[in-house]
């Protein structure tokens, strides 16, 4: 568990330090309450710390479907949005 002091895990914790030391460049972000924590991580991932970010639409949840749709639209320019199947195939080199 990594405690955080804000919505954004990459900025408010030392996880960026760990990921960089491991040579990580790509992040797959999913979660609950997309219009807060997930959206913050997606926006700050590429903009602030330089990661290439992908989200899997079926793994994002919010309090309402309307909030989830709005967030997916708002973060479009900050990340690639894939289905879980297409992300898995691409990651595993299956398609």
Q: Tell me which residue has tokens 């708002």.
A: 74
Q: Please identify, in words, the CATH class of the domain defined by 9-81.
A: alpha beta
**Residue 59 belongs to what H/E stretch?**
strand 52-61
Report the residue count for the chain. 95
Domain-wise residue ranges, the chain: 9-81
CA atoms of 40 and 50, how far apart (whole Å): 14
Q: Decide if pLDDT at 15 tops 80.
A: yes
For residue 72, what pLDDT is reported? 84
- If you average pLDDT over residues 50-62, what whole number do you get? 80
Give, rounded to a whole angstrom, the gap between the first and last alpha carbons of the chain: 34
What percent of the chain clears pLDDT 90, i.e. is strictly above it? 3
């Amino acid at each position: 568990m990594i405690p955080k002091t804000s919505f954004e895990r990459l900025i408010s914790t030392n996880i960026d330090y760990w990921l960089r030391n491991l040579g990580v460049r790509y992040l797959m972000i999913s979660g609950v309450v997309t219009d807060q924590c997930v959206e913050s991580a997606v926006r700050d991932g590429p903009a602030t710390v330089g990661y290439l970010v992908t989200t899997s639409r079926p793994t994002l949840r919010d309090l309402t479907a309307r909030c989830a749709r709005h967030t997916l639209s708002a973060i479009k320019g900050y990340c690639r949005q894939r289905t879980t199947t297409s992300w898995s195939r691409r990651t595993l080199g299956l398609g």
